[in-house]
C-alpha cells in the first residue's frame, strides 16, 4: 500500500500547489496588481517598493486559500481516479475507501501546520509592513475610560489622532467624586494639542482647561502649558490599549492577542474582548479546516465513471464560499455577545463537518 499512498499523496499535493498558485494569480491580478502597477507608473512608489507590495500581499491570501486548494486538489485527483476506473479496481482488490483517505489526511495535516504558521508569523509581519508602507498607522479616534474601584467613571480620555508615536488632539473629562447640588457630574474639561506618555502619568501639553460650575456653566477657563493626568496603573493601560487599537487581529501573534485580551478584560471592554477572543480561537479553528475541506474534496471527487464531472467542483466551491462568508458574520455575533467566542470560531467548522457527514451518507461510502 505504500506505493499507492505515495502516488495519491503526490498527485493531490501537486494538484493543491497548482490550484494555490492559480488562486493567488487570479486573486492578485485583477485589482491588487493593477493598483500596484498604477502607483509605480504614477511615480507614487518605486519599482522596489512595488515588488515589496506584491509579495507582502501573498501571505494573507495563502492563509485563506490553503483549505480551498486542498479541497479542489482532492476533488480533481479522486475525480480522475474515478473516471479512469482506478478507484473501482482498488476497491475490487479489497482496498477500502477509508484506507485510501490516509494519505489525504497526512497531506491535510501539512496544510494545518502551514496554515497555522502563516497566520502566526507571515501574516502579522506582512500586514504590519504593508500598513507602514501605505502610511495607514494613524488611529483617528480612541476613547479610554478610567474607572474607580467601584466601577464608576473617574476620567475619560478621547484621543483625536495617534500615528504610532505621537498622541495628538486630546480631550479629557474629569468626573466629580460625588454628585450633588453643589457638585456637577463633570468637574472639568481639558483640551490639549498633544500628550506625552510616561510610566506614571500622561502629560497634556499646550491646552485649555474648563472648570465646570454646579449649574453646568464654565466657572473658569485657563490655558496651560502642561498638566498631569491618569494614575500609574491607568497610564500604562491606556497607552497599551491605544497601541493595540491601531492593529487588526491579523497583525498580532497569539502572544499579543493574549496580552490584548488581558487589557480588554481589565478595562471592562466586553464587546471588544469577545471579538478579539473569537479571533484568538480562529487561529486554531481555521487551520483545522484544512482536514475537513480535504476530506470533503475526496468524497466529492469519488463517484461513478458516468457521473457529471463538474458536480463535485460546484458543490466544493459552494462550501468554500459558505465557509468564508460565515466567518465575519458569526464574528459580528460574537462581538455583540449573542454567541460565545469559542463557538463563533468553531461553528463554520461544525457546519463543514455536517456537510461532510451528509456527503458520506449521500455517497453511501
For residue range 111-142, what is the model confidence (pLDDT) as tens digits? 999 999 999 999 999 998 988 887 776 666 88
Q: Which of 232, 263, 298 is the last residue of a domain?
A: 232
If asked whether residues 213 and 326 sit together in one domain, one would say no
Q: How far apart are CA 151 and CA 133, in angstroms?
A: 41
Closest CA to 363 of 321, 284, 320, 302: 302
Q: Which of 196, 217, 232 is the last residue of a domain?
A: 232
List strand residue ranges (DSSP E) for the chain, in order. Answer: 142-147, 153-162, 167-175, 186-197, 202-212, 218-229
In a domain, 264, yes or no: no
Q: How far apart are CA 247 and CA 137, in angstroms?
A: 8
Domain carrying residue 154: 142-232
Q: 260-313: per-residue pLDDT in tens?
A: 999 999 888 888 999 999 999 999 999 999 999 999 999 998 766 555 567 788
Q: Looking at per-residue confidence, does 19 or 149 come out higher?
A: 19
Residue 152 to residues 129, 148, 174, 245, 261, Cα–Cα distance (Å): 39, 5, 12, 23, 22
Residue 343: the pLDDT is 94
Q: Which of 201, 232, 263 is the last residue of a domain?
A: 232
Going by pLDDT thresholds of 50, 70 and 90, the confidence category of residue 194 is: very high
Going by pLDDT thresholds of 50, 70 and 90, the confidence category of residue 30 is: low
If asked whether residues 107 and 123 sit together in one domain, one would say yes
Q: How many domains does the chain have?
A: 2
pLDDT at 106 over 70: yes
If asked whether residues 131 and 147 sit together in one domain, one would say no
Task: Yes or no: say if 138 and 162 are a contact pair by the CB < 8 Å rule.
Answer: yes
- Say how many Å lie between the first and final Cα of the chain, rounded: 20
pTM for the model stands at 0.86
In a domain, 70, yes or no: yes
Q: 299-351: per-residue pLDDT in tens?
A: 998 766 555 567 788 889 899 999 989 998 998 899 888 999 999 999 999 99
User: What number is the average pLDDT over the span 44-71?
Assistant: 87
If asked whether residues 7 and 102 sit together in one domain, one would say yes
If asked whether residues 158 and 110 sit together in one domain, one would say no
In a domain, 62, yes or no: yes
Amino acid at each position: 500500500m505504500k506505493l499507492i499512498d505515495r502516488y495519491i499523496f503526490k498527485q493531490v499535493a501537486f494538484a493543491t500547489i497548482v490550484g494555490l498558485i492559480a488562486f493567488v494569480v487570479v486573486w492578485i491580478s485583477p485589482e491588487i496588481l493593477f493598483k500596484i502597477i498604477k502607483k509605480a507608473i504614477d511615480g507614487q512608489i518605486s519599482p522596489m517598493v512595488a515588488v515589496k507590495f506584491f509579495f507582502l500581499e501573498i501571505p494573507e491570501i495563502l492563509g485563506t486559500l490553503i483549505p480551498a486548494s486542498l479541497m479542489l486538489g482532492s476533488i480533481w485527483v479522486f475525480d480522475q481516479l474515478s473516471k479512469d476506473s482506478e478507484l473501482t479496481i482498488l476497491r475490487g482488490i479489497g482496498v477500502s475507501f477509508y484506507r485510501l483517505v490516509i494519505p489525504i489526511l497526512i497531506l491535510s495535516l501539512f496544510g494545518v501546520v502551514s496554515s497555522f504558521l502563516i497566520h502566526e508569523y507571515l501574516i502579522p509581519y506582512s500586514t504590519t509592513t504593508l500598513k507602514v508602507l501605505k502610511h495607514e498607522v494613524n488611529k483617528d479616534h480612541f476613547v479610554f475610560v478610567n474607572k474607580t474601584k467601584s466601577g464608576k467613571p473617574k476620567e475619560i480620555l478621547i484621543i483625536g489622532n495617534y500615528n504610532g508615536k505621537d498622541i495628538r488632539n486630546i480631550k479629557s473629562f474629569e468626573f466629580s467624586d460625588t454628585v450633588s447640588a453643589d457638585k456637577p457630574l463633570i468637574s472639568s474639561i481639558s483640551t490639549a494639542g498633544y500628550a506625552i506618555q510616561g510610566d506614571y502619568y500622561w502629560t497634556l501639553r499646550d491646552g485649555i482647561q474648563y472648570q465646570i460650575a454646579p449649574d453646568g456653566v464654565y466657572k473658569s477657563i485657563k490655558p496651560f502649558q502642561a498638566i498631569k493626568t491618569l494614575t500609574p496603573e491607568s497610564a500604562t493601560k491606556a497607552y497599551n490599549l491605544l497601541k493595540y487599537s491601531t492593529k487588526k487581529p491579523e497583525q498580532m501573534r497569539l502572544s499579543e492577542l493574549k496580552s490584548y485580551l488581558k487589557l480588554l478584560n481589565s478595562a471592562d471592554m466586553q464587546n471588544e474582548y469577545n471579538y478579539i477572543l473569537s479571533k484568538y480561537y480562529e487561529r486554531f479553528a481555521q487551520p483545522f479546516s484544512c482536514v475537513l475541506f480535504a476530506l470533503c474534496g475526496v468524497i466529492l471527487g469519488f463517484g461513478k465513471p458516468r457521473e457529471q464531472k463538474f458536480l463535485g467542483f460546484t458543490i466544493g466551491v459552494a462550501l468554500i464560499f459558505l465557509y468564508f462568508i460565515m466567518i465575519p458574520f458569526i464574528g459580528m455575533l460574537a462581538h455583540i455577545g449573542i454567541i460565545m467566542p469559542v463557538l463563533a470560531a468553531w461553528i463554520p467548522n461544525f457546519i463543514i463537518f455536517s456537510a461532510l457527514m451528509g456527503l458520506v451518507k449521500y455517497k453511501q461510502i
